[in-house]
Each structure stands twice: as structure tokens, then as C-alpha cells.
Amino acid sequence: MKLGRYEIVRELGKGAMGIVYLAKDPLIGRLVALKTIRPAVHGDDDETREFQQRFIREAQAAGILNHPAIVTVFDIGQDDSSGVSFIAMEYVEGQNLKEVLAQGRPLTFEQIGDIIGQIADALDFAHAKGIIHRDVKPANIILVDGFRAKIMDFGIAKIASGAVNLTTTGQFLGTPNYMAPEQIKGAPVDGRTDIFALGICLYECLTRHKPFGGDSLTSISYKIVHEPFPPLREINPQIPEGFEDVAGRCLAKDPTKRYQRARDLANALRAVIRGEKPAVAEPMQVEETIVTRDHDKIPTVEVPFPEAVEAEEPPGLQTKASAATAPPVAGAAPAAAGVPARPRPQIAAQLKKTLSGVRAMPLWKRPIHTVAFFAIIGVLVVGLLAAVDSIQRRKVPARAVDVKAEALRAQQRTLRNQANALIREGRVNDAYAKFQELSKIAPASPAVAQMLQKLGAIRQQEEVSRQQVVQAKQKFDEGVGLFNQKKYAESIPLFQQAFDLNPNSDETAAYLKLAQHAQEISEQEKAARVASAPRRVATDTASRTASAARTSNSAARTAAVVTPAQLTTIFNSTVNDGYIMVKAGGQVVAHENLWQESGRFFKRKIPRNVSVTKELTPANMDIEIWVVIPSLNIQEHKIIKQNFLPGAARKLIVSFDPQSKKFDYQVN
């Protein structure tokens, strides 16, 4: 499949505008990510045209940005055969910040500050180019090569220099949880809007909670506009104090009280990482956040001064006739030729004379009738009362606090925190019981239903494992009974079944080898008896013993001469649960967890890289691989045939793609 000149490799996912593909540019052999757009089938022409214009605007906005922390846009085009428009951009391998937070991967405070600081530098660069992102969120922040961050998807960015504003019809663009108050209210936005959204990302990374949560768009929007966020150190007292100051400044309701430049936010974060107190920049600095390319002059508003005796005017309030005689201003054009500038003392004298003349006007000395005076006073009082009544009517009444609803929400938070703590301790059954209680209180919560489904799958897998251990024990006991009766041939299948059900039992593996060895000796003895002459019956037992000894010594000499082979199992884990097991010719060569515990005070599971080497007897054998990941509901089984020569050192490399949930196996 091709789009334009690009050859499609595979689908990467679906975005807000269409499908995203991994493609290859045949001209230079470079892999790119293609973001596509297809006109809506049921939309009218205006909607289709507006959506296409927004799509093109993304390329124009991001195409002029060349920064290490911004995903680069290479090309824009349209496929002639299908009519699909596309943008070719830099292909970045990594996980977005939303996935990292959802997986519970640990991030140190220094790493969080560095990641947000990199994005702040990228936004400052974009703001200097006149571009506002307007959809800053963890899903648009990619982590590559460890903790190097890149921001992507300028799909609803606003080009401050001009172009058609496609949001004038009141469309609600962006993600509600990460919107600034002015964005929700439909007010003009600038770079400080992105700083507010980045502050929410910082808060979420530090606490794993959103500062403004809610069950509906209305609830979230109200909290963003009106309510403060929960303090960071109330959620986690170990968060350094400097982060509290930085988050508070980013999440100020008033844009003038936030950081005025994203680079100020980056500098503050780096100061906190160094253990210093972040510098407090004065709001509304002279250098503005947005650089506009419109340089049209603003028309001058001319305010005429009340006419006096000689029509003099004070400085700063000039008529058209007196503008030419005003004193020169720095940066202004020179006065017209032949018209001398008026000295400042003369202007002051004329101003004083004018004000004296105004006071001397006979209008101020005219008496007012008593009835007219009280009528004027009455009108003023009535107008004042009407204004007060209008203000009272417009005043928004205070929301009544629903005590029962607040208590119910507090109970939900308590149960959720207890369940998450039990999950971190590995107590799946107890956590499942807590989520069951929570589902009774909040039956419509999709997050609770999803957690119940995941925990149920884990419990089911554990139950299956327990049943397998019980069955393995039964088979083992039956095999031991037959082994003690010297019924080796009948005990071997029972030991093999027990080992398949519970490969971790060293006792089962030992009995299986003993039974197989005893069966071989028994068969050798039987063959010797058949071949022996009648006269050698008396010495049959001694002969069998000597033959078995010679066979054993010969096998030992052969084993000493033959150099064993080696198999190294490598698995770079990206998950924090599950295990991998590898058998080579029926022998277990690897049985390792894909996770390990980290932390001194708060234990948590983190991904673990597996690398295990095992010696094998050279032979042509099957390699069996099992990978079990309960959280992703994965039970992978693969068989690879491989010939191991004496002294050969092989590597089995197992790779896993979390997005496609596909495995790749290589033996080299």
C-alpha cells in the first residue's frame, strides 16, 4: 500500500484526525510517521473544507519549528487515488508520558523536573515563533532514549501572525482536563495558556493525580475556573517544597500571575532540581509571550479640549490644529518646516489661564430652584437603588454543599487509595474486595469496572496456577509410589505430567531423571538376559552389573570429552508483572520474573531486564518459550527448532511491543 510516494509499513494507531502509519520514504530510505485525514462521509462541504484547513494548518505550524524537543514535520501531500491528505513527520520510537504514568513506572523528582523543563524550552521556542500549542497534555509528550522528551501534535495550534481563524465559531478545541480558565471561557489565549496546561502535567507527574478532576465536563470546567487545586505535599509529603511554588505559579487562574515565558518555568524547575529556591519573576514583563507579525499602526484617538477664551490646549490632549505645534517626542517625525515648537513654560501658563476662565464662566454662578434640586437628588437616589438591585440580581448564588454527596466522594477516595495500596503490596484478593465495595458505591464508573476486570483476570490466573500445583503434587505422589515399586516405565509419564504442571519443582525433576535412568538400566539388563547362554545364568547378575558400570564409565568419558553448548536468554522487559520460562530439549534453562521491587520505604514493582545463561548437552532439540503477563492478559507460547553443536554459544532474544502486543524471537 502506498500514500503518495510513501510506502506503508504498518499501522501505528489512530489519532484525532485519522490513522497514523509507519511508512518509508523511497527517495532517501527514511522511516517516517504519516498522519492521515479522510473527508467525512456524512459531513457537508463546509465542514470538510474547514477540517482540511485545520489539517494543513498543523503542518504549517509545526513545519516552521526546528527544535530538539519538537517532533519535526518533513512533508505534506495528498494521495491522488484515494484523496487522503497526509503529513510526513519524524518517526519517534518511545512511549508517551500518559502511558508511562498509566503503567506506574517510577519517575524521580529530578527526572520529572528535567522532562517538564525540556517541554517548557520547546514551548518557549514555539511561542517565540508566534505559535501556541493549545493541547499540551501527557499523551502529546514522547519519551525517547531514556528520558529525552519531545512534544508533538500541533494540530490545533494557533498561528498568531494571521491566517484564517477556524475557531471563531466557538469550537471547543483541546482536552478539558488540561485547559486553562481563559480557554474554557472562550477568551483570547497566548503562551501562558500552554504554561497552565504544562503545570497540570507537572502536577500529575508528581502526584499521579489530576489537580482538577470530575465526573463530567461541567464539573471539571467549574473546578478549573473557580476552585484551587489540592496542595502537592498533602498528597505526597516527600515532594520538594520548590515544586509546590512552581506548580502554584503555573496554575494561577489569572494569566498575569503565571510565568510570562515558558523559559522562566524551565529555569525555575532546574533551580528546584539543584536544591535552590526558584526565582520569582515579576508578572507582565516587558517582553511579551507572543511575538506578532502584524505591524500596522494603531490610529491615534484625538480628544478635543473644552473651548476656552483663546482655545488653548494642555499637553497630551491635542486637537488636529495644535498637533503640529506640540513639543517633539522621541521617535516621532520632526515638526513641519516653518512652524516653531512652543516652549513648555508658555504651555503651562496657557493651561492655567484656561482653567481660570472655565471657573469664571457664569454658568457655575446661576442659582438652582429648590424643587429642581430635590428632583435631581431623587433621580440620583432612584438610579442608585436600581443599580444596586441589578447587581444583586446578577450575583451568582453560592452553591449549596451536598453533605451526603461529599461524604460519598470521600468514601470513594478512601476505598480507591486503600485498593491501590494493596495492589502495590501484591495483595490482589484484598484489592479486588475493595474495588467490589467501590463498584457498589459508584456502579457507573468505567475505571472501577476496568480494574475489577484486570484484577479478576489476575485472580483467575493465580487460581489456575494453584490448581496446577495441586494436580502436580497428586501426579508426583502417584509416580513416587510406582517408583518405589520399581515400576519405572509407569512412573515416568506421571513425573513428566507433574513437571509440566509445575516446572518450579526441583524434586519432580530429580525423580524424573532417576526414573528414566533406572528404566534404561532395566532395559539393558533384560537385553543381556535374552542374549546370554544357559550356562551363564549363574553369573548373570555380576555380568549385568559390570556391563552397567562399563556403560556408565563410557558415558562419563564421552561427557568429559564433549564440550557442552550454551544458551543465553535475553528479554528487555517494559512491564512490571509476569514471567518468562524457556525449555531446551525438556530442560528448564530460564524461569525468571519480568519485574523487580524497588524503593526503600515504599516498595513498588518496576520492569526488569532478563539475561540468563545455561549449559546444554549438544543435540538437535526444540526450544519452548512461555511468556505470561497477567496485566495485559497475555499467555504466549512459542517453539523453535535448533541444533546445538559442542561448544556452541547461542542467544535467544525475545522482544515485546506493548502497543501491538506482538513478540519477536531471534536465535543467533
Residue 507 lies in a domain: yes
pLDDT of 356 above 80: no
Q: What is the pLDDT of residue 551?
A: 56
Q: What is the pLDDT of residue 15?
A: 66
* Angle, CA 125 vertex, CA 120 and CA 127 arms, to 5°: 90
Residue 359 lies in a domain: no
Same domain, residue pair 475 and 525: yes
Kind and range of the H or E run holding 23:
strand 19-25
Q: Grade residue 517 by pLDDT with cuts at 50, 70 and 90.
A: confident
Task: Determine the 3-state secondary structure of 444 from DSSP.
Answer: coil
CATH number for the domain including 155?
A: 1.10.510.10
Question: Higher model confidence: residue 76 or residue 313?
Answer: 76
Mean residue pLDDT of the chain comes to 79
Q: Grade residue 373 by pLDDT with cuts at 50, 70 and 90.
A: confident
Q: How far is CA 122 from CA 70, 87, 117, 264, in A?
A: 6, 21, 9, 12
DSSP for 45-72? HHHHHHHHHHHHHHHHHHHT---TTBPP
Residue 222 lies in a domain: yes
Please state the pTM of the whole predicted model. Answer: 0.44
Decide: 201 and 136 in contact? Cβ < 8 Å.
yes
Same domain, residue pair 628 and 545: no
Q: Grade residue 9 by pLDDT with cuts at 50, 70 and 90.
A: very high
The C-alpha atoms of residue 644 and residue 584 are separated, in whole angstroms, by 10
Same domain, residue pair 107 and 202: yes
Q: What is the pLDDT of residue 149?
A: 95
Measured in whole angstroms, how far is the alpha carbon of residue 563 from the centre of its chain? Answer: 50
CATH number for the domain including 523?
A: 1.25.40
The C-alpha atoms of residue 43 and residue 45 are separated, in whole angstroms, by 7
**Domain termination residue (choose one: 503, 523, 554):** 554
Rounded mean pLDDT of 285-300?
38
- Tens-digit pLDDT profile for residues 563-612: 889 999 999 988 988 999 999 988 889 999 998 888 776 778 899 999 99
DSSP 8-state class, residue 291: -
CATH number for the domain including 42?
A: 3.30.200.20
Q: What is the pLDDT of residue 324?
A: 35
Q: Find all residues with CB under 8 Å of 216, minimum gap 6, and list them.
A: none
Rounded mean pLDDT of 403-416?
86
**Domain termination residue (choose one: 521, 554, 587):** 554
Catalytic residue positions, numbered: 135
Same domain, residue pair 238 and 139: yes
Domain count for the chain? 5
Residue 300 lies in a domain: no
Structural domain harbouring 595: 565-667
Same domain, residue pair 512 and 623: no
Residue 397 lies in a domain: no
Measured in whole angstroms, how far is the alpha carbon of residue 188 from the centre of its chain? Answer: 27
Residue 527 lies in a domain: yes
Q: What is the pLDDT of residue 126?
A: 93
Same domain, residue pair 269 and 130: yes
Task: Determine the 3-state secondary structure of 261 from DSSP.
Answer: coil
Burial class (CB in 10 A: 0-12, 13-18, 19+), 496: middle
Q: What is the pLDDT of residue 401?
A: 65
Question: Is the C-alpha dihedral spanning 222, 224, 228, 233 positive or negative?
Answer: positive
Same domain, residue pair 120 and 222: yes
- Tens-digit pLDDT profile for residues 376-388: 899 999 999 999 8
Task: Determine the 3-state secondary structure of 294 from DSSP.
Answer: coil
Rounded mean pLDDT of 327-346?
44
Q: Flag the least confident range among 36-45, 99-108, 279-288.
A: 279-288
The C-alpha atoms of residue 167 and residue 173 are separated, in whole angstroms, by 8
Same domain, residue pair 517 and 659: no
Same domain, residue pair 548 and 571: no
Q: Grade residue 635 by pLDDT with cuts at 50, 70 and 90.
A: confident
* Angle, CA 106 vertex, CA 101 and CA 108 arms, to 5°: 110
List, edge to edge, every strand of the sheet that includes 649-657.
609-616, 565-572, 649-657, 662-667
Same domain, residue pair 524 and 480: yes
Task: Determine the 3-state secondary structure of 584 from DSSP.
Answer: strand
Residue 130 lies in a domain: yes
Rounded mean pLDDT of 226-233?
93
Measured in whole angstroms, how far is the alpha carbon of residue 187 from the centre of its chain? Answer: 28
Kind and range of the H or E run holding 665:
strand 662-667
Task: Determine the 3-state secondary structure of 336 from DSSP.
Answer: coil
Same domain, residue pair 86 and 100: no
Rounded mean pLDDT of 231-256?
94
pLDDT of 533 above 60: no
List, edge to edge, every strand of the sheet that includes 579-584.
587-593, 579-584, 619-629, 634-644
Q: Which of 217, 190, 185, 69 shows the shortest CA–CA distance to 132? A: 190
**Domain termination residue (choose one: 34, 66, 90):** 90
Same domain, residue pair 468 and 500: yes
- Tens-digit pLDDT profile for residues 457-477: 888 877 877 888 888 899 999
Residue 117 lies in a domain: yes
Rounded mean pLDDT of 399-427?
84
Q: What is the pLDDT of residue 347?
A: 61
The C-alpha atoms of residue 476 and residue 499 are separated, in whole angstroms, by 8
